[in-house]
Amino acid sequence: MNTGFQGSSLPDLSEKIKEKTRELGFDICGIARSRPLMEYRPILEEWIGAGMHDRMNFLARDIPKRLDPGFLLKDAKSLVVTGLNYYSDIIQEADDVPLFSRYTYGIDYHEVILSKLNRLLEWIKVLDHDVAGRPVVDSASILEKAWAREAGLGWQGRHSIVISREAGSFFFIGILILNIELDYDEPFEHDLCGDCRLCIDECPTAAINNNRTIDARKCISALTIESRQPLPGNILPLFGRRIYGCDRCQEVCPWNSRVKINNNREFDPDPEIARMTREDWLTLPLEKFSQLFGRSVLRRIRYEKFMENVRAVLNVNN
C-alpha cells in the first residue's frame, strides 16, 4: 500500500505518530508489527481449562480471534500501543468506608481513551485518506498486555499487569490497529521483576499464580466487578473493605514507588466521594449513585449489585 504520507520515511512517520500521542495526553507509546500471537494460545487454553476464568465465559470464546488482530481489522499491519497514567493517592478519608480501585475515579477510561485514539486516527487519515484503523480499549478480543510487550512498553509482572520502567503499572492500555506499515519497536524481552514476589505474597486472597496469571475465582477485582454472584463468604473477611476492584498487588510493587500522579484531569477523584462516611455508603440512594458514578467505569455494575457489595463487605469488615 502506498501510504502517501508526503514522502515521509517509516521512521519519520512513526515518530510523528508517537509525538501526536504525547500531544493527545498519552504517557507512553510503542508500535508493534501485527501478527498472530500463537505462542500465547497454550497459556490461554490451560488457564481456561483449569476454570480460572470463573464465569467469564466470553474469555473462552473465539480464542483464535483473541490472538490475531487481523480478525478485528482487515489487512492489519501495525498496532500503535499507548499507555495513559491514572494513578491517584487520594482515597477515602475515613478508615471504615468502602475502597475502590484507583482506576474507577473520574470519567470512564473507555470513553476517554477511545476519544483520544479516534482523534489520532482522524489525524492520520488527514495525511492519507486510504488509511483504515480500529481503536481498541479493553472491549474487544485482543491481548492488550501481550501487545504492550510487543510494542516495547514493558514486561508482564508477576501480578500479570504490564510494568513500564517509566510509568510503573498504573496505566490504561489503548491500541490503534492500522492497515499500514510503520517502523516497529523491539519487543520488551527482559523480566525486571527479578526475585521479587511481593505482589504474590501480599495478594489478600492468594489469587496470583506463579506463572503470571490470575485465578479469577479468588481475585477481588473479578469477584466484585465481573461476577454476578454473591461475594463468597469464605474469603469475604480478606477483602479489607474493597467493594470494587483491588490495587494491592500494584501498591506493593517497587516499580510503582516512584510513580508520578497523573496529569490527566479526566481521572481526578470526586472530592465528595473521599468525604463520605460509612453511613453515607450504607444508605446511598440510587439518585446519588447515578450522580457520583454516572460517567465512571463503576457504572458497569448495577446499583443493586453495588449496594450488595457495600453491605456484604462493610458488615464483615466493621
Query: d(Cα 122, Cα 184) in Å, to the nearest integer?
Result: 21
Query: d(Cα 256, Cα 186) in Å, to the nearest integer?
Result: 23
Query: d(Cα 155, Cα 146) in Å, to the nearest integer?
Result: 9
Active-site annotation holds for 138: yes
- 99 bridge partner residues: 242
Burial class (CB in 10 A: 0-12, 13-18, 19+), 311: middle
3-state helix, strand, coil split of the chain in percent (to 5) is: 40, 10, 45
Query: d(Cα 6, Cα 129) in Å, to the nearest integer?
Result: 12
Q: Which of 68, 128, 138, 280 is catalytic?
A: 138
What are the distances in angstroms from CA 82 to CA 33, 47, 105, 177, 284?
14, 27, 20, 11, 36
Structural contact between residues 271 and 88, judged by C-beta atoms closer than 8 angstroms: no
Q: Which helix or strand (DSSP H or E) is residue 20 part of?
A: helix 10-23
Residues 6+ positions from 299 with CB-CB distance below 8 Å: 108, 293
Query: Three cell numbers at 28?
Result: 507512553
Compute the Cα dihedral for 281, 314, 236, 212 and give only its sign.
Answer: positive
Query: d(Cα 245, Cα 73) in Å, to the nearest integer?
Result: 31
- Alpha carbon 81 to chain centroid, angstroms: 13
First to last CA, the chain: 63
Query: Looking at the annotation, which residues are catalytic?
Result: 138
